[in-house]
């Protein structure tokens, strides 16, 4: 994966707008709990193959980045994105790694379902 280049990621997001796409969004403890001590409970979120159509997208911040996908009824939002790639299946894969290099968040967009 490459370090996020804001303009390139925005173009990739725009290319997938107004199409039916599948979303994979996942967070791990690294996203929010890495600065807490052992008394803090762990948390995470996971969704895979949620089919949606977003009408607008936005990458914001100075790194790590926030990615927002606006749908007809609301938003899909991921924070902490540091890296991205477009794979051999033309899927936009974005990930955020914490200060130790551990995966903290991933947001992936595909025109076909994920396996």
Contact by Cβ (8 Å): 72, 56: no
Higher pLDDT, 41 or 105: 105
Confidence of residue 43 (pLDDT cuts 50, 70, 90): confident
Q: How many domains does the chain have?
A: 1
* Tokens, residue 64: 């790590």
Digit-coded pLDDT (tens) for 67-108? 999 999 999 999 999 999 999 999 999 999 988 888 889 999
Q: What is the CATH number of the domain that holds 10?
A: 2.70.180.10
Please indicate, yes or no, if residue 98 is contained in any of the structural domains: yes
Please indicate, yes or no, if residue 115 is contained in any of the structural domains: no
Contact by Cβ (8 Å): 65, 97: no
Please indicate, yes or no, if residue 92 is contained in any of the structural domains: yes
């Amino acid at each position: 994966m490459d370090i996020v280049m804001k303009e390139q990621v925005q173009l990739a997001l725009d290319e997938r707008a107004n199409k039916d796409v599948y979303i994979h969004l996942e967070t791990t403890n690294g996203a929010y709990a890495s600065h807490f001590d052992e008394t803090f409970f762990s948390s995470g979120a996971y969704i895979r193959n949620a089919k949606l159509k977003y009408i607008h997208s936005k990458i914001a911040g100075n790194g790590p980045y926030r990615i927002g996908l606006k749908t007809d009824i609301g938003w899909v939002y991921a924070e902490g994105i540091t890296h991205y790639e477009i794979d051999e299946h033309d899927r936009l894969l974005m990930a955020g790694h914490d200060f130790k290099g551990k995966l903290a968040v991933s947001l992936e967009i595909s025109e076909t379902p994920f396996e």
